[in-house]
Structure 1
Amino acid sequence: MREDLPEDEADFEVRLVQIGDGATGDRLDKALAAAAPDISRARLQALMAEGLVRRDGLPVTSGSSKAVLGEYEILIPPPAPADPQPEAIPLVVLFEDAHLIVVDKPAGMAVHPAPGTANGTLVNALLHHCGDSLSGVGGVARPGIVHRLDKETSGVMVAAKSDAAHQGLSKLFASHDIDRVYVALTRGAPYPKKGVIDTQLGRSNSDRKKMAVLKTGGRQAITHYAVEHAFGPDEKPLAARVSCRLQTGRTHQIRVHMASKGAPCLGDPVYGSGTPAPSVREAIAASGLTRQALHAAVLGFVHPVTGETLRFETPLPADMAALEKALAAL
């Protein structure tokens, strides 16, 4: 522990890393990762973003900046507690009984703690809301969680409050006996207007952080889609509202599948290749959308304990509703 660090950094590990002549001019994150191989490049980028990589006492925040000769200081925070902690975060509860809870997750909320997202997650909120009933259900790290939505995807989610519900819900998801419908606002419109996308989905060979349609390997991913509304000229729509019903539930499935049809979700920072038309860009800016335009609108299933048939449907959140209204005026 360094005694000359600010109080809130006193427990940080301090690593001093030398950049030699051979690495000067390289990307800084790449050079530091090579000099400190036990710290991943992604971790270094996250530390930079927090101002915890310094040279001559000053933060270096851009991993793409050029490495210069000399010594860099890397401050590594102590590990976050292994057990997620309860947090008084408001939840929109659609249904709750002794066995499970159904919520409308907002965009921007991660489902469970992970590196870089230690708190403010759905799990933290559920632990506070449900109390001891959630403790230990499904494991310590992700109590109650049987499926997930991307952090920036909004919509309906179910979590288990009892072991019986957790086991039953897990079986329903594994056998695809769940009705899941998403609404996507896309750049252009997929062709044909209605169909089934059946591909193998897995990690991209060129970028391991992304998912991709693969020729070999991966897991089968099936999406049933239908264009509900097309916006702009009939012969070449500028955008569309697309209903996507999941037959399987793979990581980033709808985002990858829509992109594979040449109609990625508007605002998608990872799979949204191509630039929307100027009028669509103006609509996005006016709506305040800062994420992928994807909402889990419907979740239906048979209650794993009571046998009751449950179905929940939520409207588009404000940003997507505003965007759809603006697109309708094209």
Structure 2
Amino acid sequence: MEPELIYQDDDLIVVSKPAGMPVHDAKHSTDYTLCDWLLERFPEIKEVGDARANEHIPYRPGIVHRLDKWTSGVMVIARNQESFLRLKDIFKSRQVEKVYTALVCGHLKEKTGIIQKSLGRILASPTKIGIEKSGSRLKNPKEAVTEYKVLKEYPGAALLEVKPKTGRMHQIRVHLASIGHPVAGDTVYGGKNVCLKDLGRYFLHASSLSFSFREGQRLTFSVDLPPELEERLGKQGVAKFS
């Protein structure tokens, strides 16, 4: 389980992260992380990033955005401090277009749509994210917006193109589950009976990133679905989703 280096220059490193690899270290975890892999190959990024106020803050050299452990796909990393600050501003000001591919359980009535529901950590279960609604007890809920489009329908499932307009933790997974169509394989937000629960991961892949980094230059980085997801869709586009 190794990331794939898909682009590098003096300012940027772009990789395809595999599912199952955390981006950075976590409390009580000994997992080999993307940051470990990056530091082995690009030791110059060691001092790139925000200063850590204390040792409890994860060490994230060059990291300006993240993917969940079991989400695969494209990530961009800053190779120097100037690039870090530039990328950080691009992501914070929402000047980056992020496109994901997701397989969800069931068929959506609307073939395109926008989900606008604020998200926050569930106080009673801080590793999970919840939707802000009457009676919900969430820590610091924030606006979250997700656009989706149905690409193809399968028996009992649908393949979507998803564009998160904000970058909240677990945003796509929580938003899609909130409209009754959880991401296939996602037992956390889809429940124990979610479709494709035997997949060993959830069917969510960061397919592309596009942003303007240098004046007059639009950069787009794309990665295909990994084999375990492509194969599950079936050679003739027929898959088993029970």
TM-score interval (norm. to shorter): 0.7 to 0.9
**What residue ranges of structure 1 are gaps of 5+ in the alignment?**
1-88, 233-237
**What residue ranges of structure 2 are gaps of 5+ in the alignment?**
53-58, 135-139
Structure 1 SS opposite 2:148: strand
CA distance in 1, matches of 2:175, 2:70: 17
Contact 1:103 1:157 in 2 (8 A): yes
Structure 2 SS opposite 1:113: coil
Are residues 156 and 327 of structure 1, via their aligned partners in 2, closer, same or farther at CA, if it must alter by over 3 Å? same
The normalised TM-score by structure 1 is 0.65
Aligned to 1:269: 187
Superposition misfits of 4+ residues, deviation over 6 angstroms:
none
Deviation at 1:208, TM superposition (A): 2.5
Structure 1 SS opposite 2:126: coil
Aligned to 2:56: none
Higher Rg of the two aligned structures? 1
Aligned to 1:260: 178
Amino acid at match of 1:191: K
Contact 2:2 2:18 in 1 (8 A): no
Q: Deviations over 1:152-201 (max 9, x none)?
A: 10000001011111000000110110010011111113331211001111
Are residues 134 and 205 of structure 1, via their aligned partners in 2, closer, same or farther at CA, if it must alter by over 3 Å? closer
Aligned to 1:44: none
The normalised TM-score by structure 2 is 0.87
Is the strand fraction higher in 1 or 2?
2
1:109-188 mapped onto 2 (5 Å cutoff):
109-131=21-43, 133-139=44-50, 141-188=59-106
CA distance in 2, matches of 1:327, 1:208: 41
Contact 1:185 1:324 in 2 (8 A): no
CA distance in 2, matches of 1:159, 1:191: 38
1:211-230 mapped onto 2 (5 Å cutoff):
211-215=129-133, 218-230=141-153
Contact 1:191 1:261 in 2 (8 A): no
CA distance in 1, matches of 2:2, 2:234: 28
Q: Deviations over 1:34-62 (max 9, x none)?
A: xxxxxxxxxxxxxxxxxxxxxxxxxxxxx
Contact 1:93 1:104 in 2 (8 A): yes
Are residues 159 and 246 of structure 1, via their aligned partners in 2, closer, same or farther at CA, if it must alter by over 3 Å? same
Is the helix fraction higher in 1 or 2?
1
Aligned length: 227
